């Protein structure tokens, strides 16, 4: 099976469309989204509709949860909170129901596990190998060799081998996975990258070849940013898109 793993679209239709077009070229079997279809940018309904049209299997992100009242918006910074309140006003009833239907995490084809933040907490950030280390205990306990996570908007490839050693392969574009080892992998952000590269980031996973391929794509940032400004959202949300931060 070949999968496209995407995360953190954040209502950025321009980025999402470019990523979907690239995915179509690969003829993948499934597209998997690790959460946060909405938030920050100005096309929440269009992004949800595109996800539904493409039959993307999604889980709930923290911004998705806040929009439908499953997360306390007071834990968000003022800019994110403003965007959530705006999204709550704009989202259609049917798309609200769609977000409500999403699960917190799930197993895909008995092959890998998907979460938004961490295996135990949707809102937890995993920025470093050190922060990931104790989560491998969950993977070992539950016989999960591969877990994809999002939330940070940054690529990451963390590896725990059979000898008990931990390795950080972040930065590699291609990686052959060892079948008996354990991995936690973040595809980066589609709609709001935060690793100082403004291009959308996602990955392909080939379960037959046990191979990961990281992808970056340029998109029309100016168009997305202008929509943010036209919607009356904070100007910083538009500006950060150009810098990948």
Quote the pTM value.
0.97
- Alpha-carbon span 170 to 163, nearest angstrom: 20
Residue 83 in tokens: 């965007």
Which residues, in sequence order, are bridge partners of residue 160? 166, 182
What is the pLDDT at residue 160? Answer: 97
pLDDT confidence tier of residue 27, bands split at 50, 70 and 90: confident
Calculate the average pLDDT of the chain: 97
What is the pLDDT at residue 56? Answer: 98
Region 2-241: CATH code: 3.60.21.10
94-151 pLDDT, tens digit each: 999 999 999 999 999 989 999 999 999 999 999 999 999 999 999 999 999 999 999 9
Residues whose CB is less than 8 angstroms from the CB of residue 121 and which lie 6 or more positions away in sequence, other chains included: none
The answer to whether residue 162 scores a pLDDT higher than 90 is no
The answer to whether residue 9 scores a pLDDT higher than 90 is yes
- For residue 91, the 8-state DSSP code is S
Q: Per-residue pLDDT averaged across 154-164, rounded?
A: 95
Give the start-to-end residue ranges of the domains of the chain: 2-241
| HSE-CB for 197 with a 13 A CA cutoff | 16
205-240 pLDDT, tens digit each: 999 999 999 999 999 999 999 999 999 999 999 999
């Amino acid at each position: 099976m070949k999968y496209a793993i995407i995360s953190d679209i954040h209502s950025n239709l321009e980025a999402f469309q470019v990523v979907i077009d690239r995915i179509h070229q690969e003829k993948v079997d499934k597209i998997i989204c690790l959460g946060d279809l909405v938030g920050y940018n100005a096309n929440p309904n269009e992004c949800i509709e595109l996800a539904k049209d493409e039959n993307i299997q999604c889980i709930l992100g923290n911004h998705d949860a806040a929009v439908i009242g499953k997360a306390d918006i007071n834990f968000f910074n003022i800019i994110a909170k403003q965007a959530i309140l705006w999204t709550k006003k704009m989202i259609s009833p049917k798309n609200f129901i769609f977000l409500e239907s999403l699960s917190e995490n799930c197993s895909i084809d008995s092959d890998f596990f998907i979460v938004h933040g961490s295996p135990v907490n949707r809102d937890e950030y995993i920025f470093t190998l050190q922060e990931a280390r104790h989560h491998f205990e969950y993977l070992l306990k539950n016989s999960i060799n591969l877990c994809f996570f999002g939330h940070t908007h940054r690529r990451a490839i963390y590896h725990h081998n059979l000898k008990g050693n931990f390795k950080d392969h972040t930065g590699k574009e291609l990686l052959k996975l060892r079948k008996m080892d354990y991995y936690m992998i973040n595809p980066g952000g589609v709609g709001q990258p935060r690793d100082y590269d403004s291009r959308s980031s996602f990955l392909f996973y080939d379960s037959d070849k046990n191979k990961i391929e990281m992808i970056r794509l340029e998109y029309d940032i100016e168009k997305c940013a202008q929509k943010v400004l036209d919607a009356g959202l904070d100007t910083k949300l538009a500006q950060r898109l150009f810098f990948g931060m």
